[in-house]
Structures are given as structure tokens and as C-alpha cells.
Amino acid sequence: MSSEEKEKLFNEVFKENKDRIFRLCYTSLNNKDEVDDLFQEVMANVWRSLDGFRNESKISTWIYRITVNSALLFNKRYKTKSGRFQNLEPHELEEMHAGSPFEKSLDDDLKNLHKAIAELGKQDRIIIGLFLEGTSYEEISEIVGISQNYVGVKINRIKTALAKTMGGME
Amino acid sequence: MKELDVLKNNWQKQKAASEIKMDEGKITESALSMLKKFEKKIFRINAVKTAGIIIAVILLIYTMLIATPPTVFKTAAVAVLLISITVFWTRYLKLQLKTAKFNVKENSVDFIDEVLKNFSAQREFFKKDFKVFGAVLIAALNIIYLDLLNGMPGLERIGFHTVMSALLIAVLFLGIKFRMRRFRNENAPIEKELIKIKDDLKESL
């Protein structure tokens, strides 16, 4: 792939997927303040990996996989680097960062959904993030590395947990 | 409270908070991470090569000076080989990419120049120094053969020397060709990307 082709492909990928990637970054993060950093890291990783993209999987699956791997590493690094947030519960972190421009743009239902998702475990946050993006069970299974049946089981459990947290949602 | 499937539609309408562009720090980090990966790969290859060279040198010393009676010619040739291998290999290893030496924080563009300079020095090393090393290697091995073939008719000896030297020249020629191909396939794309990053950074400054 020539550098011009690479740049063109990257710009297309960026344009088509930036909102999706941003949402998945936001959902996956422990500390929402870091979303811009993670987003940029994902885009840097996408740029670096473009040469290796072989069209063997859907570009969305490929991008999601990069996002998920980057988010997991990012959370791990953040946990190691930052001691001061380590003892805070997810909802406390949520409250600390409730004023970000992204959150201000959300309606109440979405704000509540984000809050409820923040209470979930890291893998569950990723799975529900992918589910909400309309990703198929097959793709989620490929991205997260668990069986399709288990994805189904997980999503049902997550839905129940979210309903419980949000109160009344089915 | 709405159902999750209804929220799903709204979810997908959420826009990224702002037009985020790749900032200078991230680009530098990305370039550095790419170089570190490359450095690790080369380190592993060089570790295997070093082990190979050590084994070859031990075998050479054993065959020439321990298993068979040492002569002045053989000892001199082995000494020349040892010195030239040590000098060549030390110089080669010193020229390898060492990302830890880069002063990335102070100036994010400068380290790209350092890498490009380093790659260029490596290329020059193979174009010039490797040929000198090859010539020394051929000379030393001819000295060893001069001793080993002692007593053989003159014409046959000349034949042996010629064939052996020609073979070595061919191997060295192929070695340089192979190395240049690796430069084209591995170093050149990195150089190209670094130049692009450097240009992008300059534009954003």
C-alpha cells in the first residue's frame, strides 16, 4: 500500500468510524476524562496497523478489535499510573466527570444508561458497547474472544443488570 | 424508562465530543512505538547472529589450532580473522537503532532525523565496510589454504585458491544483495513513514 493510499484509507476509516470509536472508547474507560487520549491512541494504532489490514474481516470488526485491545491496555496502564482514583467506585468517577462536553450533549436516558454501564465490569462494558452499536453476536464473539452462545448469555445478564441499576428498564 | 432497543437507536446518534485530531505527542508516540518494535526484532536477529558467530569462531580456533598442529600461517590467519570479525561486528552492533538514546521529550522532530541518519549510516556500512571485511576474510582464508594445501602441485593449488575465493566473493555479493533487499523491505517503509510524520509535524508547528 502506498503512503497516499494509506492516508486515503485512514481518512475514510476516520470519517466513517470516529463516532463509533469514540463511543466505544467512552464506554470502555474507567476514567471518562481520558477519552480523548484513548481515542487518539486508537487512531494511532489504526494508522500503524493499516498496512496489515487484509480485508479478511469486516473493517468495523477490525477497528473494534483495535479499540477494545487499546482500551484494555489503556485501563490497565491508567490503573497502574494513577493511584488517586483507584479507590473510587465507578459511579463516583462518573460523578466527578459529569460535566464533559460529551456528557452535556446527552439526554437523560442516555446519561442514565452511561451511568449504569459504568457500574459494569470491564468486559461487560465492552460487550454492551458493541451490542449498542448494532454489532452482531458473531462479530462480538470474534472481537472479545468468547463463543457466540456465551455472548448471548452475557448480553442477557447485562440487560438484567442494567435494568436493575436503571430501575424498570426491560 | 425506555427499552434498551429504543435507546440503541439514540445511542448510535451520539457524536464524538469534538473533532479530535492526532496531536503531535501521539504521533511521536506512535512513531516511537513502531521503532521500538523494529528495534526488538533486530535485537533478536542480532542475538542469533552473535551466537552463530561465536560458535563459528570457536569451531575455527578448535579446527585450526587445537585439533591440528598450529603453524605460523594458520595462527596468523586465525588472528586476522578474529580481529576483523571483532572489529566488524562491534561496529555493526554499535550502528544498530537504540531508541532509548533518543531525546524525544525535548524535541519531537529531532529524533526522526537521528533515526534517518542512523539508517543511512547502516546502509553505508554495508556498502563500504562490509566489502573491506569481505576482502580481509578472503585474504585470511587464502592464508589458511596456503598452509593446508602445502605439498600439492602448484596448478591445483592455484585452482583451489581461485575456486574458494570466487565462492567467497559470490557469497559476500549475495550477502550484500540480501541485506540491501532487507533495507528496501524493512527500513525504507519506516523511513518513508518517518519523513511523512516529520512533514506533518512541521506543518502543525
Q: Which amino acid is at B169?
A: I
Please report residues of A whose CB lies closer than 8 A to that of B192: 3
Confidence of residue A113 (pLDDT cuts 50, 70, 90): confident
Span of A160-164, B48-52, B191-195, B201-205 with lowest mean pLDDT = B201-205
Q: Which amino acid is at A74?
A: F
Best of B2, B3, B4 to mutate (most A CBs within 10 Å, chain A): B4
CA–CA distance, A32 with B168 (Å, rounded to integer): 63
pLDDT value at residue B88: 93
Average pLDDT over residues B104-112: 66
Average pLDDT over residues A59-64: 86
B positions 11-40 inside 8 Å of A (CB): 11-12, 14-18, 20, 22-23, 26-27, 29-30, 33-34
Q: Which amino acid is at B94?
A: K
- Max CA pair span of chain A: 54
Residue B48 domain-assigned (yes or no):
yes
Residue B114 domain-assigned (yes or no):
yes
Confidence of residue A90 (pLDDT cuts 50, 70, 90): low
| Angle between helix A137-144 and helix A148-166 axes, rounded to 10 deg | 100
Please report residues of A whose CB lies closer than 8 A to that of B33: 44, 48
Query: How many structural domains compose chain B?
Result: 1
Pull the grid cell for residue B61: 580456533
Residue B153 domain-assigned (yes or no):
yes
Domain that holds residue B86: 23-204
Instruction: Return the residue of A nearest to B22 by Cα.
Output: A40
Confidence of residue A86 (pLDDT cuts 50, 70, 90): very low
Query: How many structural domains compose chain A?
Result: 1
Residue B7 domain-assigned (yes or no):
no
pTM reported for the whole predicted model = 0.50
Pull the grid cell for residue B74: 594458520
Residue B1 domain-assigned (yes or no):
no
pLDDT value at residue A131: 92
Average pLDDT over residues A119-139: 90
Instruction: Return the residue of A nearest to B37 by Cα.
Output: A48
Pull the grid cell for residue A115: 451511568
Question: First-to-last CA distance in chain A?
Answer: 48
Please report residues of B whose CB lies closer than 8 A to that of A41: 26, 29
Residue B38 domain-assigned (yes or no):
yes
CA–CA distance, A106 with A99 (Å, rounded to integer): 11
Chain-wide mean pLDDT for chain A? 79
Domain that holds residue A113: 3-169
Confidence of residue B1 (pLDDT cuts 50, 70, 90): very low
Secondary structure class of A85 (helix, strand, coil): coil
Residue B102 gets which letter from DSSP? -
For residue A55, with 0-12 CB atoms within 10 Å meaning exposed, 13-18 middle and 19 or more buried, which class applies?
A: exposed
Confidence of residue B70 (pLDDT cuts 50, 70, 90): confident
Best of B13, B14, B22, B26 to mutate (most A CBs within 10 Å, chain A): B14
pLDDT of B7 strictly over 50: yes
Which of B7, B189, B193 is nearest residue A110 as measured by Cβ atoms? B7
Which of A109, A134, A162 is nearest residue B12 as measured by Cβ atoms? A134
State what percent of residues in chain A have pLDDT above 90. 16
A positions 10-69 inside 8 Å of B (CB): 18-23, 35-36, 39-41, 43-45, 47-48, 51
Do residues A144 and A127 make contact, with C-beta atoms less than 8 angstroms apart?
yes
Residue B30 domain-assigned (yes or no):
yes
Average pLDDT over residues A126-154: 91
